[in-house]
Every structure is written in structure tokens, then in C-alpha cells.
Structure 1
Amino acid sequence: MSEQARHVHKFGGSSLADASCFRRVTQIIERYSVAGDLIVVSAAGKTTNRLLELLDLASNADPAAVDVLESLLSYQLELVSQLLNEELAAKLTAALQQDQIQITHYLEQQLDRWTCNEILSFGERWSARLLSALLQQQHLLADWIDSRDFLRAPDGAQPQVDFACSQPLLQQLLAAYPADARLVITGFIAREPGGHTITLGRNGSDYSATELAALSDAAATTIWSDVAGIYSADPRKVRSAKLLTKLSHAEASELSRIGASVLHARSLEPLSRSKQRLMLRCSYTPDDGMTQIVRQRCEGPGARIVSALDNVYLIDIDFDGQETVLNQLLCYLDEQQLKPLTWQQRRDCDTIRLAYTAELYPQALQSIEQWAAPRQCPVQGQGGFCLLALVGRGVSEHAEHSSQFYRLLARQPISFIQHGPAHLSLIAVLPQITLDPLVKELHQALFDAPRQIGVVVFGKGNIGSLWLSLFARERSELEQRFHQRLILAGLFGRTGGMLNMQGLDPVSILDHFTPHPLIWQELLDQLRHHPFDELVVVDMTASETVSRYYPQLARHGIHVITANKYAGSAELSFYQQTCQLFHEYGGHWLYNATVGAGLPVQSSIQMLRDSGDKIREISGIFSGTLSWLFQQYDGRKPFSQLLHEAWQQGLTEPDPREDLSGQDVQRKLLILAREAGFALEQQQIELQSLIPESLAELPLDEFWQRSSELDAPMLQQLEQASHSHQFIRYLARFNEQGQAQIGLIALDAEHPFVHLRPCDNVFAITSDWYQSNPLVIQGPGAGREVTAGAIQSDLVQLCQRLV
């Protein structure tokens, strides 16, 4: 296995429908997987349906079964001939001929359930065999595995994989293959303890993918299908439906439980006992976004999803007031994996009413009748119903959401309305009607209102005060552009702050700032229970204390925009944990203002990496303050006088020793190196400080009084460079070998880093694509205006991501 964490990728039948689909999947694997990843596949196209048709015809001795089998094999042979070279095609054609002989042999026997399962397993085996051959043809190390060689599960309506038995078999199997091979594994099928083939039921391939990730300790599972993820409504019926970029595990489970077809509840179960993340993406348009299922619970308002289901059945059980019998029934249904879509205990009579999908209804009715018979509880089932639901964390508590739901259904012939568990849903069961108009009307009512985004600001000094003015000026345009409402909910400075979820006026807040003491745990608890659709913390401080709370903000699903460099340059373990938490909880951490102020440095690095380039080296002048100082410093003015002028203009950190010590540049270097994919630690950087030890620990006022002690040593370095017709500049540099240096260096007059405008930063990026001619980014790297502008730019990016 490579140093990168293993991922599981699952491709459904619609993603493998024809030769062009197989080629597209191969491209996705080349682009989005790494060596050692596991690929789970379903049967191609409608193969499973055709196999079921074959079994039905064969069981009735219908001669048309021969034609169906011929059609199935022709389809597979056509895929082979279109996709593979002559040598590989010959191997797979021979294998298909043997499969035809084997299937014909099975069909000549008595078709018991084990033989039927054996025949059904061919669909996934054909897909796995073909895809692995296609990957080999693309010069990727690949092979395929029959999941029945390691997946063990007791037989049942919806078999549950035996983890303890399956895991050692999988580990033993994986050890037999090269660690950097991509292994294509069949979905949907397993073996029961007696060795017979079993199928894992509806959405069995999705379930086997997430179970495989749990068994192999994979970091993530991506389910590729014909849709980009989970939408706020069925996009085929509601054109304005929005793709949900994140969904909590609880919300996804509730959506699946009430019959949504995009993700089955069984596929989610392995997430709760493994470290894996789950993503849903579209194999046809892989760059069109995705939905990430967040395992941990985020605070604040959740998703809003309108779900509808036709062809619902009801089962009534008369339990004659026996409360214990009711509890026993619900426990029994859980054990049988026959949880209802929803249920209601009718108050007018001692009856419990259970709702089921058409798929589970026959088995549920039979099981309930068997359970109820010895208890003498009458059971009655009937069809002809449908279901409309609103799903999302807290929807039944949210007055606006619930009132819209009840108002919409006021004129409908409702059978009953029930709140889902943990306030995750509102569910209405109705006599069968056309649901599409109701779905569209409810979706429009929910999403016509602009999303509310709360903004809590830390830092009201030079940059913060300027940004508040910029925010006030640009807010209206942003709200119209993204159909959102931006609410300044809090402002905090060094002496404390103000928090008002109803909103503060960014224009007058500084004139009426009456701070309350900042107690972090109390504040976090208030932020955790915010009333907005999204909450973002904007950190414009230079406070390490504030940055240390980023992980807790991430755990509460709160986004962070920052000009504060501490988190990005902290010890590597803290930085990596913070990145992971924002990823796990579906939050965004934007920090383009930490390096180069408004210059697109991090975004350019990320763009290069996303496009497949590899960063080899970054060098340049990373400090606008030091750029200004050394562009101005020619010996005619004392260095300390120039430093004080820069401080007065707001070009330095509040304590300019942060700049002169090189620590500010050091933080920027760490941020860029990590953004470029290098695990650099602070102690690995060779740093030259411009602060004499005698001035390093003084109070700020005393430092200014003695700042003239900087003048003599700085003049000496300037004169030494001038003798050689050179110029001194403060440079930072790191390369892929892990070498990193920061300090003063004398440069010839022709060097591109010499002739900059005052305050300019310059970043030279050397990569595989920019080797002989590095990518150069140059412009103002310090100043209140450009830093405030960078914060505003990140806010615009966040608003765009939250649309």
C-alpha cells in the first residue's frame, strides 16, 4: 500500500452501461484514485435485470430463456471487442464462452435459490473482469477479486456482513497482491457460512463498498453513479433542486429510511464503526460537485430535503392497549431489518399503523402476521398510499419549515402526519395522489427564502475596521448575487465583544461598541446553537489564542475565514488535524489573506496541484513590510526611522518585531509549503532574525525607545553589499528536498527580486510545468486595503460555495 491512505471507489450499473462509460470510468480511476485503491463494481447496465428475466423464463421452462442468455453474452462480447486489444479480448472472450457453458449447466438443473444466486453473480464478475483488463491496457497495475472469496454473511432478506469473519480473509487476500495494485472487486455478492452464494439485496453494491472500506480501514468511499449526489428534491422533477454539498450521517440515514433511492440506509451503517468518509459523485460529470456524508453531527440548522414516495402500503395491528406488546413489535421489526418508513399509534383506537415500501411490504406483512398470531393481534394490510416528507436536522422544531409543511397539506386528504426521530423529518402519509405539484410547491416555499449566513468577526483594529466598511458597502450586492442574507452577528476585540444573533450594524458598531468579557466556552456554546443556515467566523487578529479554537469551530460546522497565520503555521499535527476536521464536518477554512494579502498565491498553488502539476520550489520576498523597508533603505535615513514610518502607515504587524524577526515570513513559508503538499515543520527552516537579542524581549514601548540599536548593524550589511554593487533583500525559499531558508541576501542589480515597487511581494513558483520559466506572482503584499480585500474575496468564495 502506498503512503497515501487507501480509498474505495464504487461504480454502479449506470456508470458501466456501455463502452464509452467504461472508458470514462477508467479515466476517473486514473485521475481520482491512487495505487492501492479498491474499486467496487456493479453489473453493467441492465445486466442484473436481464439475469432475473432469464431465471424467470427458465423456471417456467420458456424456450425464450435461450435467447435472453444469447443476448446477455452478445452484450458482454460487444463490450470486450470495443474496449480491449486483441490479446486481452481473446482471453476474456474465452472466459465468457466458459461462463456460457456454466450458466447453461445451471439452467438445466433444478433452479433452487442457491443456483439462482450463482447465476446472478455473473453480472458483477463480468464487470470486474472487464474493468481490470481495461486498466491493465492503460498500463495501470490492476487485477480483480471475487468478493465471495472474503465476504461472509448469514443468509437473510438483507444479509449483514460478518465483520469478524470477513476481515482476516480480506487481509490475507490483499497481502497476496502487490501493494500498489488497484484491485477491482465485485459488489452485491457474498457467501453464507455453508459456502453458498448470496446476494446482499437492494443497493447491495453500495453496501458492500462501504463495508469493504470498513474492513480495509480505508479513509474514504466514493460512490459514483449517474447523479452528482443528494439534492434538495428530485432534480428530474424539480428543476430548481440544489445539490447538497454536505449532509450529516443522521440526515442521510433518515432520508434513506423513508425510501429515498439515492442512498440506502445499509450503505451508511459501516460509517458509524469506521473512520471512512463517504462521497457521492457523478461519473458522467465528475467535476460538477458532490455530496459528502459527514459522520459527526454538526450543530445549527441542517439540510432541507423534500422527498416523495409513491406506492406505499399500510399495515394495521390492533394490540388492544398492550403497551409492552407495542415495544416488542418495534424491537422485533428492528431485528428483522424491517423498519417501517413511518408509524403512528392511533389514539382513537388501540391500533398501530406502519407504512412500508412496495418492496418490503410482502415480507413485512408475512413477518408481522407470524409475530401477531400467538398474541391474538389482528393484522390488516392495504395499498394505495403515498408519502411526502421534509427531511433535515431540526425541521420539525423549525417553526417556518413546519408551518409551511402543514400549510401545504391543509387541503389534502391526509392519513396521518408523524415527526421522525430526533426531529429529523416531518412525514405525511396520504391516499395515492399525484405528488409532483406538492413537491414543487413545498420546495419553492422552502428555497425561495434567502439562506441566512451569520458572520462573527474577531479583530476590529486596522484591518478589521476597514473590512467592516467594505462589508457594509458590498453586502447588498453579495446578497442579491447569491440569494443569501448576510448578518453581522458578532464583533470581538482584545477587551471582549458583542454578540447579537438578530444582527449588528457594521456601519455604526465601532461607534457603539460596548464589549462584554470574552469567555471562550460560553461563546462556543452560543455559536454552537446559532439560528442561521450557515455561520462563518472571520479572524483578522494576530492572536494565537483565537487560532487554537479553529478545531472546535470546525466540529460545530462553523466556517472560518482568516488573515491569522498561526493555525496554518502551527505544529504540523495541529495543522493537519484542523484541515481534517473542517473536511470531516463539511466546513470551509479559507486563508488566502495569510500570505501575500490579496495576491492569488495559495489559489494558484492549489490550481496547479488540482491540474496534476507538482510544485518543486517556491522562493521570493514574502513580507510586504520588509519589501517596503529594503526598497526604501539606502542609508540616507536610519533604518529605525523607516521602521517607525512603516508602523505608522499600518504596514507592519502591531509589534514590528514580528516582521523583523522573520517569524511572519516563516509562518508564510510554512503555509505555502504545506499548501504545496510538503509536510514542513517550523524547526526545519533556517531563519535569520534582524532583531538583536538585546531588543527581542523588551516591552513594545521600550523597544521603540531603543530601536536606534538596529541602525549600525543594518548599515554595515548595506555597505558590504554596496561595495559589490549589490542590493540587500529579505528572501524566503524552500524546495522539494526539504531545504528551507529565510534571511538577508545580497542580489545583483539584474535579479528580478531587486526592482520591485515598495510593499510588493514576489513569489516565484517552480513546478514540473514551470521549470525553466517559473510562474511569478507579484503585487502589494501588505497594507490594510489589500488585506481587507483578500478577506472580502474569501467571503465571496464562501458565499459561492454555499449556494
Structure 2
Amino acid sequence: MKVLKFGGSSVGHPDRIRGIVEILKGYYATGDHFTVVFSAFGGVTDQLIEMSELAEQGDDRYGQLFDAFSERHQTAITTLLGETALYRETSQQMRRSHEVLKNLLYGIFLVREASPRTMDYVLSFGERSSAYIISQALQQAGVPTEFLDARRIIKTDKTFGNAKVNFEKSYQKIKQHYVEHPKVQVVTGFIASAKGGLTTTLGRGGSDYTASLLAAGLKASAIEIWTDVNGVLTADPRRVKKAFTIPTMTYAEAMEMSHFGAKVIYPPTLMPALQQRIPLYIKNTFAPEFEGTKVSEDSNPEGAAVRGISSINNVALCTVSGTGMFGVPGIAARIFGALAQAGINIILITQGSSEHAISFAVQPAVAEDARLAVEAAFAFEIERGVVNTVKVERELCVVAIIGENMRYQPGISGRLFRALGQNGINAVAIAQGSSELNVSVVIAKEDETKALNALHESFFLSDHKTLHLFIVGVGLIGGTLLQQIQKQNEYLRERRGMEVKVVGLANSKKMLFDAEGIDLADWKDQLRQADTAIDLAVFVGRMRDLNLSNSIFVDNTADKKIATFYEHILDESISISTPNKIATSSGYLQYQRLKRIAEKRGVQFRYETNVGAGLPVISTLRDLIDSGDRITKIEGVLSGSLSYIFNTFDGSRPFAAVVREAKEKGFTEPDPRIDLSGKDVARKILILARETGVALDAEQVTIDSFLPQEASEAADVSAFFTVLEERAAYFEQLLQQAQQEEKVLRMIATLEGEIATIGIQAVGRDNPFFTLSGSDNMIVFTTDRYSVRPLVVRGPGAGAEVTAAGVFAEIIQIGTLS
């Protein structure tokens, strides 16, 4: 014998019920012996509660809800049975039943009272209606069934709303009834009866409990709970999109999952099954071929350490502390005795080894009652000042990892706290039982979804990670970066187990957000059509409020204002990758502060593309220093635009023509003086100096300008080019002097010791900078290890493709490290 149960979502409307009829016809055709339990139609129980509350308030709108309730069931009868004799019989019976309900509601309306006893009777009409209609539909489909009102076989006390079952008496009646009734029994879930025939209900998950009681009474071979999901999932799929089905789990694991909010199984359901060792299967009504989850006593020590991650999304934490608690026996007994007398249920308990404080989590609605109860119990100690008043913290939640095999594998707790810490989630309290069946952590309520995803990724998807990008600046570099991400995402998923989702985009006018990921195939149209004007403070606030795991802020601009938000972004435990040199070349103290905040928060502040675009300049420098090498000198051609200009200026054309060509090709800024002045190069050598540990500020970098003063001070770009043309002989002379010595001109930045300089140099063939071509950058590191032959990094130092690629590489590195 198998016991099957179908929940409200499975019987939400006639089409779904037809699907159930097909499932049960299949069972019957194979010769399986089974009985089936049904919940009320989806939403009906809430509807019955609402109409009762309206009637109790004297609001005659309850009648409209009753009419809708009655009409819904009559429609189901018509749809499922058609114009048949069975239809007429079922319709008449349903009208008689609903007439009783109508009179009952009118009685509530008259007396303005709906007692728990009355409410249990009202609620019984949901299951009684659905089970009766479905039993008739099964009969018409050729399955010989009988409707069974569970009040006949399940007996309870008179605790209305959550009645306690008389197991011995109920099991006797179940056995007797099934011996006398060989047809397939279609049973009402959720309801039972007390002495005198009074209707009672079994509380939350009551229909599942009914199925479990039947299985225990019949010593069934299995219980099947049919719902709208593919079994018990590793986490709540509404919060963790990558949650998947747990194929098998033990009763203990299922109990823990249900305690921490998993809605698929309720604790009372498991007890009768556990006592009789009856396996329980969770299956999907809408995907009957899926195996679902099996819950049994079978345990596999070689299986996964963590089976699932669950949470209770709203708790209050009460803490009792004081010197008068240390070493005093009976403190915990007094605390929890006071709470028990007040009827307060405790969700979680934690106590430090110092015995100075005991914390316990409760539902927020009873937190004040808990405080008063405990303070009353310790009134004498509080008055003497040896016990403090109870501290109550709200807006918290509990997240738990669950699994019997955690006891066999070391490092589970470390992995949990590492995942939380890397995402900036602070643990307010921690609890772990000696059985190691679960590790529970109290955290801020706002961090719940982020924590669930971070933990799920850590324990179930350790070879798969999702990065959430917030990108500001979608011009040449930003747009190229988006193209590269779109092109490479499939490869990263398949080969690196990494998915990059762009969840925030902004340009100089608009901003766009999508927590599920913006479709990069048409991001331009989406951003153009966005109705939110750009506001950096709002953008950063939205990024914070989304609170997604593995968040990375990408600044593709040269905007000084955006750089002012870096400190706040890092402080929110969000990593940063940027080619924007403003922050790293600003004041030295601010540079240090940003680095320290990133370190403190456990996030990454990356700016490799500040120097050399996509070249590995800063990372190479860090590797040298971290490995113990000492930097004695750094020399570099650090500007792609200046490199192009001096590599092209060979005397065949005036200097002004070469600069104009570089501007037209996009190598220089719109005002080439920004490049030719050496200020951009100064920022780069300043950054490299700071990476070596030299505390330089911008004014300490010496720039030996080669531009005539009148060129630097020209009124505009047009006037600047006029001066260059007028002073053509000056630039020609610089070139000829170098050529006479068989040398070439290069704009070189140098750091030696704590001295940073920039200027034009004429270099010969024995110098590594002699062979530079195009817009290449070259950085030469002279160190203790590379003293005879310096270490050279060379390659394209400008251009959207290489800069975007450098940012993209940093994003992947951040994802790998987080």
C-alpha cells in the first residue's frame, strides 16, 4: 500500500486535477494498492479565513466571497464531470454542503465571533469539497473510489487549530476502515475530529500529516507527497535561482530543513513515517516523470557534507549578559523556564564559553514578551547590576547549512564563514549542535538572499561562480568590454565554471538595472529606453540595496566625481576594477585609505589598466615585490599616444602634422596637450612608485616639458597647432640632434629610489627603448635579481580592445579570488 498526497497547488484548477487523474489511473492500471489524500483547492483555505473574518467584523462582503467559493467548486464539477448522472449527484451534494457553510457564516455574522472551534469547522469545507469532487472525477475515469472524511478515522484532543493526535485510537480506526473498504479511498487532508465528533484541524502542513498518519496506521510501503516542485531543493528557489533537487536525504536532515523554513516538508509529517521507517518521496505533479527526493533512514557517510541551505527570514535576537552569570549554575534553566511559562518558542540558542552571555532567537512578534519574561525572572540580579537588561536586536534572520555528513568532514564551518566574509556579511551569532547536523548563523535580514547564494555557490557550485557587474561608462572602452563579455561568457561557463552577469549599466545620461542580468545582445537599446536618469549616488545605493554576491563595480571613465564614490563602494564589500587613474593618483593618504578599506572588507581594488592598458605591469611589479625582490629603478614609455608620436616623427613631416595625425587616429586626447604635457605619464609613474612603497604625491614628480611655453599656454587646440607649426624648426632641431648621434627621441618616465622624473631622452641602440614602434608601451624593471639584464614588459599601451581586455582579465581574477 502506498499513500499519496496532493497539495493545493496541484489541485488549483480543473486542468491540473485532470493531470492528477491521469497519474492515478496509471497507478491503478499497474495494480498498485494506494490511497490518496487531497488538500483544499489552491487558495481556498485563505478564502475561508477571509470570509470568516469579514463575517466576524459584521462586514456583509463575506457573502460575495462565499458566492465565489461556491461558484468555483460548481465550475470544477461541470468541467470535470460534464452533463452526466454523476455530475448531478455531485452538484447536489456540493450545494447541500455549501448551504451548511453559508448558514455557519451567517451565524458568525450575527454573533460577531469566530472561535477556534468554529474556525476549524469552517476550514474543513475546503478539504471536504475538493476530495469529494476529485473522488467523483476518478470514478468517472474508471478508478473505483470512495470518498473518506478523515474525521471518521483520525481522532484528536480539543486543541482547535493544532490538535494533538490520539495515535493508538487513530491507527485502530484506520486499519479497521481499510479492511472494510477495499476501494481506493480518497481522503480529506488537514481535518480530524475530537470526542463528540467535533471537527479539529492538524495545523500547518496538516494534509501531509494526514498522509503520514494513514501510512503509519496501514504500515504502508511508501508515502508520496505530490507538490509543485521537483522535490526538496538545496535552497529556496525563489532566492537561489541555481538551487537543485536533493535526490536523497535522511529524516533528520529533512526535519532540520523543515525547521529552517523549507516549505515542502513539515516536521509533524515526518514523525509517524520515522517511527515506522516508511520512506517518503517528494514528487512534482507537473513533472511526474521526475524522481524527486527520497527521505528515509538511509545515510551515506561518503555523500555530500552539506545537503541543503535554509533560512528563517525574520527573527529577533535576545541577549542576557552580566558578570552575575559567570559560573552560576541554573542560569540557563531560569531563562528558558521563564520563556516556557510565557509560551514563547525558541528558534536558536547560543552561549559563549565564558558564560558571560546567552543569546536566543525568537519570532519578532514575541520579542518584547520574551524580554519582559526574562527581566522579571532576573529582577533581583538586574536591580543589583550583576545582570544587564535584555538586549533585543531586530531585523535579523537565521541562515543554516544542514547535513548529517558534516561531522565527517573538517573545515565546513571555515568554508561557511569564508563565503560570508568574502561577501561582507557579518555573523551576529553562531550556533552548532554537538551532532553537527546543522551550523546556524544569525545575520542581518537584508543580507539573507546574498548569504544564501554565497553559501549555495560555495557548497554546491564550488566549480561554478556568478559574478555580478555594475558598469559605469559604456563608451569606447566600456562598449568593447561588453562585447568581449558577451562573446566569452559561454567559454567561461563551460571551461572556467564562471558566469558574468551585467546587472547594472550607466552612461552619462541613463542608468539601467536587472538583477537577473541585462541581455548584452541589445544593451544599447535597453539603456537608451531606460527611464531613470543617471545619478551616481542612486546608482551606488541601488548596487548596495541589490546586495548580490560577488558584486564588482567597473568604472570605465576618467571621471573625477565617480572616483569619489570608491571608498563607499569598497566599504559595502563590493570589489572595484577600473582604468580610471583619478583615485590611484590622487592624494597618497586617500590612495592608502582605499587599499586599507579593500583589505579590511576582504574585497579587491584592481587598477592594472591604469598603467600600460592591457599589459601586466602592476601585477608584474607586485609579483617582484611579493617574492622578495628589491626594485632599484623603473623606466618606462608609459603613453601610447606619445610613443606613436615619437616613433612616427622621423623628419619626413613636421612635428605638428604627426601630432595632428595621432589626434585624428584617436591616439591622443581631444586636446593633445594633455598627452604632450606629460601629466598623464606623471600619474602612471606615480602609481608605480606607490606600488613599490614610495609615498609620493603628484607635485613631487618632476616633469621636464619639451613643449614651448607659448604652445602650452595657447588659447585653444587650434591655436596650439598654429604654435606647433610656427615652431617646426625647434622640433626639427631636437630630432636632428638625436639623429646625429644615431639615437631616437623617447618620452621616458623614471623612478629611481624616491625620485620620479619625466622628460624627452635621446636613446641609442643599446637602450631597450630604441626598438619601440607604433603605439607600444615599454616598462623596464631593474631589480636586485634583474640587475644585469632588466625585466622588460612591452606591448600595445593604448586602445579600447587591449584596455577592455585588461579590465575583463581583472574581473575574472577578482572572481577567481573571491
What's the CA shift string for 1:599-622, capped at 9, x where partnerless? Answer: xxxxxxxxxxxxxxxxxxxxxxxx
Residue aligning to 1:87: 85
Residue aligning to 2:4: 9
Residue aligning to 2:414: 403
Query: What is the rounded CA distance, in whole Å, between the counterparts of 2:216 and 2:338 in structure 1?
Result: 27
Cα offset, 1:20, TM superposition? 0.8
SS at match of 1:422: coil
What's the CA shift string for 1:103-151, capped at 9, x where partnerless? Answer: 1221233422211110100000011101110110011110111111121
Query: Would the aligned equivalents of 2:407 and 2:435 in 1 still touch at CA under 8 Å?
Result: no
> Would you say 1:439 and 2:441 are equivalent positions?
no
Cα offset, 1:328, TM superposition? 7.1
TM-score (normalised: structure 2): 0.50
Query: Would the aligned equivalents of 2:426 and 2:444 in 1 still touch at CA under 8 Å?
Result: yes
Structure 1: unaligned runs, 5 residues or longer: 1-5, 452-479, 484-803
Query: Would the aligned equivalents of 1:396 and 1:425 in 2 still touch at CA under 8 Å?
Result: no
Query: Would the aligned equivalents of 1:218 and 1:275 in 2 still touch at CA under 8 Å?
Result: no
What's the CA shift string for 1:677-713, capped at 9, x where partnerless? Answer: xxxxxxxxxxxxxxxxxxxxxxxxxxxxxxxxxxxxx
Cα offset, 1:195, TM superposition? 3.4
SS at match of 1:76: helix
SS at match of 2:254: helix
1:116 to 114, 119, 126: 119
Residue aligning to 2:51: 54
1:413 to 404, 407, 426: 426
**% identical aligned pairs:** 26
Go from structure 1 to structure 2 and tell me whether the alpha carbon gap of 1:367 and 1:430 turns closer, same or farther (over 3 Å shift): closer
Cα offset, 1:324, TM superposition? 3.3
What's the CA shift string for 1:311-349, capped at 9, x where partnerless? Answer: 223345679646435247668989999763321125677
Cα offset, 1:274, TM superposition? 0.7
Cα offset, 1:357, TM superposition? 4.8
Query: What is the rounded CA distance, in whole Å, between the counterparts of 1:337 and 1:169 in structure 2?
Result: 33
- Equivalences for 1:597-612 in 2 at 5 Å? none
Go from structure 1 to structure 2 and tell me whether the alpha carbon gap of 1:29 and 1:165 turns closer, same or farther (over 3 Å shift): same
2:99 to 98, 101, 109: 101
Go from structure 1 to structure 2 and tell me whether the alpha carbon gap of 1:415 and 1:245 turns closer, same or farther (over 3 Å shift): same
Cα offset, 1:80, TM superposition? 0.7
- Equivalences for 1:288-327 in 2 at 5 Å? 288-301=290-303, 302-316=305-319, 321=325, 323-324=329-330, 326-327=332-333
Cα offset, 1:367, TM superposition? 8.4
Cα offset, 1:73, TM superposition? 0.6
Residue aligning to 1:45: 42
Residue aligning to 1:762: none
Query: Would the aligned equivalents of 2:249 and 2:299 in 1 still touch at CA under 8 Å?
Result: no
What's the CA shift string for 1:573-612, capped at 9, x where partnerless? Answer: xxxxxxxxxxxxxxxxxxxxxxxxxxxxxxxxxxxxxxxx
Query: What is the rounded CA distance, in whole Å, between the counterparts of 1:347 and 1:192 in structure 2?
Result: 48
Residue aligning to 2:145: 142
Query: What is the rounded CA distance, in whole Å, between the counterparts of 1:271 and 1:22 in structure 2?
Result: 27
Residue aligning to 1:285: 287
Go from structure 1 to structure 2 and tell me whether the alpha carbon gap of 1:284 and 1:189 turns closer, same or farther (over 3 Å shift): same
Cα offset, 1:387, TM superposition? 1.9
Query: What is the rounded CA distance, in whole Å, between the counterparts of 2:246 and 2:90 in structure 1?
Result: 41
1:183 to 178, 182, 185: 185
Query: Would the aligned equivalents of 2:150 and 2:188 in 1 still touch at CA under 8 Å?
Result: yes
Residue aligning to 1:67: 64
What's the CA shift string for 1:730-773, capped at 9, x where partnerless? Answer: xxxxxxxxxxxxxxxxxxxxxxxxxxxxxxxxxxxxxxxxxxxx
Residue aligning to 1:127: 130
Residue aligning to 2:360: 354
Residue aligning to 1:230: 232
Instruction: Report the residue type matching 1:143 in the other structure.
Output: E
Query: What is the rounded CA distance, in whole Å, between the counterparts of 2:221 and 2:340 in structure 1?
Result: 29
Query: Would the aligned equivalents of 1:248 and 1:298 in 2 still touch at CA under 8 Å?
Result: no
Query: Would the aligned equivalents of 2:339 and 2:374 in 1 still touch at CA under 8 Å?
Result: no
SS at match of 2:346: coil
Go from structure 1 to structure 2 and tell me whether the alpha carbon gap of 1:413 and 1:283 turns closer, same or farther (over 3 Å shift): same
Query: What is the rounded CA distance, in whole Å, between the counterparts of 1:64 and 1:251 in structure 2?
Result: 45
Query: What is the rounded CA distance, in whole Å, between the counterparts of 1:90 and 1:371 in structure 2?
Result: 62
> Would you say 1:78 and 2:84 are equivalent positions?
no
Residue aligning to 1:170: 174
What's the CA shift string for 1:663-689, capped at 9, x where partnerless? Answer: xxxxxxxxxxxxxxxxxxxxxxxxxxx
What's the CA shift string for 1:450-494, capped at 9, x where partnerless? Answer: 69xxxxxxxxxxxxxxxxxxxxxxxxxxxx9999xxxxxxxxxxx
Over aligned residue pairs, what C-alpha RMSD do you find? 3.2
Query: What is the rounded CA distance, in whole Å, between the counterparts of 2:371 and 2:46 in structure 1?
Result: 29
Query: Would the aligned equivalents of 2:248 and 2:293 in 1 still touch at CA under 8 Å?
Result: yes
Query: Would the aligned equivalents of 2:398 and 2:443 in 1 still touch at CA under 8 Å?
Result: yes
Cα offset, 1:420, TM superposition? 3.8
Query: What is the rounded CA distance, in whole Å, between the counterparts of 2:359 and 2:65 in structure 1?
Result: 42
SS at match of 1:311: strand
Query: What is the rounded CA distance, in whole Å, between the counterparts of 1:115 and 1:12 in structure 2?
Result: 24
Query: What is the rounded CA distance, in whole Å, between the counterparts of 1:332 and 1:23 in structure 2?
Result: 53
Query: What is the rounded CA distance, in whole Å, between the counterparts of 2:347 and 2:199 in structure 1?
Result: 30
Cα offset, 1:84, TM superposition? 0.8
Query: Would the aligned equivalents of 1:345 and 1:353 in 2 still touch at CA under 8 Å?
Result: yes
Go from structure 1 to structure 2 and tell me whether the alpha carbon gap of 1:148 and 1:107 turns closer, same or farther (over 3 Å shift): same
Cα offset, 1:194, TM superposition? 4.9
Residue aligning to 2:155: 152
Query: Would the aligned equivalents of 2:233 and 2:246 in 1 still touch at CA under 8 Å?
Result: yes
Cα offset, 1:59, TM superposition? 0.9
1:21 to 16, 24, 27: 16
Go from structure 1 to structure 2 and tell me whether the alpha carbon gap of 1:306 and 1:37 turns closer, same or farther (over 3 Å shift): same
Go from structure 1 to structure 2 and tell me whether the alpha carbon gap of 1:140 and 1:449 turns closer, same or farther (over 3 Å shift): same
Query: What is the rounded CA distance, in whole Å, between the counterparts of 2:273 and 2:329 in structure 1?
Result: 34
Say how many residue pairs are matched: 445
Residue aligning to 1:193: 195
SS at match of 2:146: strand
What's the CA shift string for 1:408-440, capped at 9, x where partnerless? Answer: 223323210111451111111112214223222
Go from structure 1 to structure 2 and tell me whether the alpha carbon gap of 1:337 and 1:147 turns closer, same or farther (over 3 Å shift): farther
Instruction: Report the residue type matching 1:435 in the other structure.
Output: E
Larger mean Cα displacement after TM superposition, 390-399 or 22-31: 390-399
Query: What is the rounded CA distance, in whole Å, between the counterparts of 2:27 and 2:133 in structure 1?
Result: 20
Go from structure 1 to structure 2 and tell me whether the alpha carbon gap of 1:323 and 1:55 turns closer, same or farther (over 3 Å shift): farther
SS at match of 1:423: coil
Go from structure 1 to structure 2 and tell me whether the alpha carbon gap of 1:335 and 1:303 turns closer, same or farther (over 3 Å shift): farther
Query: Would the aligned equivalents of 1:249 and 1:297 in 2 still touch at CA under 8 Å?
Result: no
Query: Would the aligned equivalents of 1:281 and 1:289 in 2 still touch at CA under 8 Å?
Result: yes
SS at match of 1:285: coil
Go from structure 1 to structure 2 and tell me whether the alpha carbon gap of 1:137 and 1:481 turns closer, same or farther (over 3 Å shift): farther
**Which of the two has higher C-alpha Rg?**
2
Cα offset, 1:394, TM superposition? 3.6
Cα offset, 1:200, TM superposition? 1.1
What's the CA shift string for 1:80-100, capped at 9, x where partnerless? Answer: 110013212212221222123
